[in-house]
Structure 1
Amino acid sequence: MAEEEKDIPAAQRLAAVSCVGTAPPAVHIRGRQPSPLNLPPQDPTTDEATLPYPRSPRLARKTNQPAALSREALSRHLEDLQVERSRTEAHLQSLKKRSDDLSRSAEAMKQQIGERFETMRQALLKEEQAGMDWVEQDRREASGRLSRVLRDWTLHLKQVQKNIACAKKALEQAGKEGTQEYTGHLSCQKKEDAAQEGSKMNEGRFQRLLKALRNISKDLQAQLQRKSFLLDSTAVHIDRQTSNRHIAVGLDRRAICFTSEPQAAPELPLQFDRVCCALGSAGMAAGKHYWEVDVGCCSAWAVGATYGCIERKGADKGAKLGRNRHSWCVELREGHLSAWHNDHHVACQVRGHRPPRKVGVLLDYQRGRLAFYDGRTMKLLQEFCAALTSVFDRMHHQFTEPVFPAFRFFKPDSGQLGPSRMEICDLRL
């Protein structure tokens, strides 16, 4: 045996090893001892052979492939795939059903909205027809009165023409026979009667109708605009821990009153100690929000919004609404309405207009927009957005922190009536 192994060329043995990819059989050469680096004999029960040298990349890729699955494993895998297919089909059916339900729900909503607007359109058409009918009736009545006046004046014209003919005839006779007195009726002046004044259409009533319709149109436009804001209405309540001691907060935390005497209460860390200010209880960090404040019973006020990092202690600009880069407001002082941010202000009231009795605040957090409206006419008082960076330095066109509603009373000067009361309106539909 040893002789046969000795006769095998070494090159053939190496070629066989490289082709098969397994360790070469143990060859004992006569006169030599086994090398200590030789690995122990391969266990025939193992699936893979241990090589004494690195495998080629192609062989490594082949050996890394998963082993062939048995028939039972393939059956189980097929069953799992079928179950997953059933679950996927059921989920797709559920999504399709949800899509159909969503479409039906949207159609039902559209129908309801259309019915509401159709009711308003019918009411407007009815009022329009009533106005047209009134104008037509007034025209007919005025036309009838004018026809009677025209008939009277036609008869008067005929009488005048008859008198002219009589006068000419009398004049001719007087020239032939000498001067004679004429005893016939020569009156030609007709007094205007009251019917002539009523021959015109009721212009005064028509002007009053136009004015009423103009006011109704303005109110309707304001209410339609306010309607979209009310869809984003937010319940705002006063945070007692932030309110100054000169501010009394109602039980519902929506009404605040100014008191000349400070309330007996311990000083809190988040409380404004020098500025007569209070904040809302919840910050707004996403979405659109709208709230209204009734300021009709207050002579000097500020309504706005602020970050929670506004200063609470002291009377510096850092604690006053609109006097720092963390807050925005509109305020009424000495009858002048103005908008403030970062200690810059602009007038936002047209002369001749009364100060608003309600202030609406619209916050669009994602768009970085904060707008103030007259709550009755929905006239825009002031808007803070990216376009106003040139007016208000360091204007944030994107909010970076939660925004809190803010309210401030101004202490009265000597001899003037002071602020009294503000209330957050209940906008529940």
Structure 2
Amino acid sequence: MEDELIDSSQLSLPRKSVLPGAGFFYPDSFDEERAEERAREKLEDAAVAVVTDTDADGLGCVALVRERYDAALDVADFEARIKERLRDDDAEEEDEAEADDDEEEDRPKSSVALVGSSPYSLEDDLQRVADYAPDGIEVFVCDLCPDKYEYVEDELEALAEMAGEVHWYDHHQWKPEVAESVRDAGVDLVVGESDEECSTDVTLRELDYDFDERFVELAAVTRDHDLWLNEDPRSQDLADYAYWTSKEEYVAVAGAYGADLPPVVEEYIAHRRVEKENLIEAAVERAELKTVGDWTVGITYGRCSQNEVADALRENGADAAVIVKPAGSASIRGSEDFERAHEVADFVNGGGHPKAAGCKPDIYDDMLDYAHHWTTQGATTKRVILNAFERVAETAGDETGDTGETDEAGETDETKSEE
């Protein structure tokens, strides 16, 4: 396959909006080989390891741990690279800065190793720390929550056996039996109140260290975005920057400056937001409103920033918003009138918070399924998720004594239109 076919920078915005980024087209085996190699290089001489989600909240935890252990990388090198990117007007960065992550191999390593993870790769990343880190290493797991203990059982127990200490700081809603099993494995698990704290808050509180005020403010502004408070405009800057740049760059800059990002980073964010706003507009324009039970569900498709799209759909009358992504996953956002996003996600291979959750339905058997996904703008995924809303509506009806009946076949408008 020619590189140009998967190079997003060569696509018009309408096409870019409905197709996944270049990283999607790399086989998992290739990604796994790169992940193994990077983990080995980062971990072999590390004194501390942090396995974390790679959004602003998870990376904020890393900034705190590196400050605690005096292991921050020099921010000047990263600032110089940002200036280079801004000078090169033709350079298009992929989401999550895959290309820039490759360049991290040329930079100095921190004694606090950053192992980026996700709910879908957590068990593999725990095993990598167990395989490649020195015996007795101190390990932190941040901003991640397994749906079932058996998903991480073997890997976590292997890690606990070789590590000196394992701390797990999170703020998602844990199932009691999962939390109990993690603690029984010898892990220091601390879970903050999901509607009051972010994981950076928990890490700030639990680390035995007198942090500078900028880290206290960093946690507060990170919380503002992560809990969808949206009261501090800086929180959107942090979220966007974490998404657009490399993990190491974000940690270095956030650790050095806190929530008040330097001018060169603000310029970079403004540059990237031009396209971001266009992608948001495209997703909002193709959205539909569906009635499910007592709720109005706004559902759309596209590569976009899901929080801003969800805000727009709520302004248009939606109680809940679903943003289906070209890569096959979906974000579910709630509101004051819908706090069951995690229940919907549970039915479609996902999880999360009452007002924010994610999922990826297990419906993609081959590339033809993905081709159908792109050309129909997520029709099957939309139908599956709307059916999950129907099941949650039935549960809500049972709780209130309402039958929650729809039409004779129990179908949504979406289901019927696709048949």
| Range of TM-score over shorter length | under 0.3
The structure with the larger Rg is: 1
Return the structure number with greater helix share: 2
TM-score by length of 2: 0.21
